[in-house]
């Protein structure tokens, strides 16, 4: 599916409609109903239903966290390879100094601006993803994120 809107800092966060607007609300409604039942008609079954409702939400959130963690590992690898091709020779020995957060944020920098931005991130010790993304001038879209 082709993306129609050019990506930028303001619109790069991805919402997954089935997850964010269907699954999570259903799980939250289930939790509310289960807690209500446990408090108004306490029994082992209603308490257990509330515990299961909490577990379902935890599973749903962990599934998202685990997917994002796997994505970050792939991005880290991709960006290290990209940096080997784009950084000047004096910066290449510092590639392993980048944190995963820095690499994840730097993936949005265009090839032309990446070397200077990478140097600034390392020299100034900028580690916040959001701060690095805001420094990107020419945005390189990533439409395959989770």
| The pLDDT value given to residue 3 | 59
Q: Is the dihedral of CA 87, 75, 101, 138 positive or negative?
A: positive
Which one has a higher pLDDT value, 77 or 146?
Answer: 77
Average pLDDT over residues 16-39: 95
> pLDDT tier at 9 (50, 70, 90 boundaries)?
confident
Burial environment of residue 89 by CB neighbours within 10 A (0 to 12, 13 to 18, 19 or more)? exposed
Reply yes or no on whether the pLDDT at 7 is more than 80. Answer: no
Q: Are 111 and 86 in contact (CB under 8 A)?
A: yes
pLDDT at position 82: 96
The average confidence (pLDDT) of the chain is 92
Q: What is the mean pLDDT of residues 10-32?
A: 89
Q: What is the band of 15 on the pLDDT scale with cuts at 50, 70, 90?
A: confident
Dihedral pair phi/psi, residue 118, rounded to 5°: -60, -45
Mean pLDDT, to the nearest integer, of 78-97? 96
The whole model's pTM is what? 0.78
Window from 12-16, 29-33, 109-113 with minimum mean pLDDT: 12-16
Whole-number percent of the chain with pLDDT over 90: 80
């Amino acid at each position: 599916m082709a993306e129609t809107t050019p990506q930028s800092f303001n619109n790069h966060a991805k919402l997954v409609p089935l997850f964010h607007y269907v699954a999570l609300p259903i799980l939250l409604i289930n939790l509310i109903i289960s807690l209500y039942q446990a408090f108004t008609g306490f029994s082992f079954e209603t308490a257990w239903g509330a515990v299961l409702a909490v577990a379902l939400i935890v599973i749903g959130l962990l599934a998202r966290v685990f997917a994002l963690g796997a994505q970050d590992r792939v991005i880290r690898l991709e960006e290290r390879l990209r940096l080997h091709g784009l950084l000047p020779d004096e910066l290449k020995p510092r590639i392993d100094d980048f944190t995963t957060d820095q690499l994840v944020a730097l993936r949005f920098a265009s090839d032309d601006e990446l070397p200077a931005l990478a140097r600034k991130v390392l020299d100034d010790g900028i580690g916040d993803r959001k701060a690095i993304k805001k420094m990107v001038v020419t945005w390189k879209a990533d439409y395959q994120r989770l």
